[in-house]
């Protein structure tokens, strides 16, 4: 059965003769077609006679008030039904496109991605789909993954997500963790550093529970001498601010500190310790439910965006 939306559109997009012929063929009479179309019987009959004259073929055998399709009528009816079927598919695609312009995307992201990467990503996405509502929640890596699992977010940007059957790991990129410091810091002249070098100075550590802290603690546990911790914080922006104000060393990937590095306010030195060489930035979705149209389009855009921009920002 044709959808009511396709029927309504067809009334405007297809010629009356074709539509009246179809109605008569399905109803089996001029009067039945008139009733279904809410059109005068004379108008229906006139259009069918015109169509027969234009084609030079008789489309119906008239038996009293009943109509029986001729061989030509059967062929024409099959053609019209194929045309209407194709038209319904087109209407569905148009409705899907309309849905994209009105959809909603919920994103859970870590702070560093929210600094520069995500704003640029959303901005480029909205150039194509300006009507889509984008909802962003900034949290820790663990919480971003949990939001996706709990269906509170469609797409998650996180580091080192937990291995669970509820999450689909759709994209990952290994990124080195480094030391951030002022250009006049005593270690600024070194090209590379290990964590033990940094712990000889006051440091700003990410709070426990953050993915970077987990990796740092693996290395710290191998260093016998206690570090001169300056502060612990769950904000990477705060740690960068502390590094600019004092001789403290912060720890972060290059993602999120692009502005401070390009301006010369801070310098970044990669850490050579093995666990700090492969912090994984990941894009996750739920494996338990399919993405709706708008979130699916944003996800595809996000993956392409990261593949284009990450190689120029960080080394794999």
Domains of the chain, CATH where assigned? 4-101 (1.10.10.10), 105-171+289-308 (3.40.190.10), 177-277 (3.40.190.10)
pLDDT in tens, 267-282: 999 999 988 877 889 9
State the Cα–Cα distance between residues 302 and 308, nearest whole angstrom.
10
Is pLDDT of 7 > 80? no
Residues 6+ apart with CB under 8 A from 37: 19, 20, 23, 44
pLDDT in tens, 218-277: 898 888 765 667 788 888 889 999 999 888 999 998 888 888 999 999 999 999 998 887
Q: What mean pLDDT is predicted for residues 31-57?
A: 89
pLDDT in tens, 280-300: 899 999 988 888 888 888 999
In this prediction, residue 68 has a pLDDT band, given cuts at 50, 70 and 90, of very high
pLDDT of residue 8: 52
pLDDT of residue 189: 92
The residue that leads in pLDDT, 16 or 203, is 203
Q: What mean pLDDT is predicted for residues 100-108?
A: 82
pLDDT of residue 251: 92
Vertex 204 angle, CA 202 and 206, to 5°:
150
Q: What is the mean pLDDT of the chain?
A: 85
Q: Do you know the residue count of the chain? A: 316
Q: What mean pLDDT is predicted for residues 206-219?
A: 86
pLDDT of residue 1: 45
Percentage of residues in the chain with pLDDT exceeding 70?
A: 87
> Distances from the Cα of 124 to the Cαs of 117, 153, 173, 264, 305, in angstroms?
11, 20, 21, 27, 9
Q: What mean pLDDT is predicted for residues 183-208?
A: 90
State the Cα–Cα distance between residues 153 and 172, nearest whole angstrom.
18
Is pLDDT of 9 > 60? no
pLDDT of residue 82: 76
pLDDT in tens, 89-99: 666 656 666 66
pLDDT of residue 183: 95
Tokens representing residue 280 in the block? 């994984």
Is pLDDT of 36 > 50? yes
pTM of the shown model: 0.65
pLDDT of residue 14: 60
Is pLDDT of 65 > 90? no
Q: Is 286 helix (H, G, I), strand (E, B) or coil?
A: strand
Is pLDDT of 315 > 80? no
Is pLDDT of 11 > 60? no
Is pLDDT of 316 > 50? no
The residue that leads in pLDDT, 81 or 263, is 263
């Amino acid at each position: 059965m044709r959808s009511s939306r396709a029927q309504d559109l067809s009334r405007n997009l297809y010629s009356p003769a074709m539509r009246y012929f179809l109605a008569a063929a399905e109803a089996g009479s001029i009067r039945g077609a008139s009733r279904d179309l809410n059109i005068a019987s004379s108008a229906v009959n006139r259009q069918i006679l015109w169509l027969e004259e234009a084609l030079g073929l008789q489309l119906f055998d008239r038996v009293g008030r009943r109509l029986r399709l001729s061989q030509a009528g059967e062929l024409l009816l099959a053609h019209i039904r194929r045309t209407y079927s194709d038209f319904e598919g087109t209407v569905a695609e148009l409705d899907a496109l309309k849905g994209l312009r009105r959809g909603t995307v919920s994103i859970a992201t870590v702070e560093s991605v929210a600094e520069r990467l995500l704003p640029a990503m959303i901005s480029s996405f909205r150039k194509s789909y300006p009507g889509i509502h984008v909802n962003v929640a900034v949290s820790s890596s663990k919480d971003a993954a949990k939001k996706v699992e709990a269906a509170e977010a469609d797409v998650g940007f996180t580091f080192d997500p937990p291995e669970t059957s509820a999450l689909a790991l759709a994209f990952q990129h290994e990124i080195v963790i480094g030391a951030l410091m002022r250009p006049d810091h005593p270690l600024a002249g070194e090209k590379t550093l290990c964590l033990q070098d940094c712990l000889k100075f006051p440091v700003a550590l990410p709070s426990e529970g953050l993915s970077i802290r987990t990796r740092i603690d693996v290395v710290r546990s191998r260093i016998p001498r206690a570090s001169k911790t300056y502060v612990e914080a769950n904000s990477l922006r705060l740690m960068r601010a502390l590094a600019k104000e004092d001789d403290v060393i912060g720890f972060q990937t290059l993602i999120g500190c692009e502005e401070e590095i390009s301006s010369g306010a801070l310098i970044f030195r990669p850490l050579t310790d093995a666990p700090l060489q492969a912090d994984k930035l990941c894009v996750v979705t739920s494996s338990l439910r399919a993405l709706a149209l708008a979130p699916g389009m944003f996800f595809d855009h996000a993956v392409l965006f990261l593949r284009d921009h990450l190689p120029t920002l960080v080394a794999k």
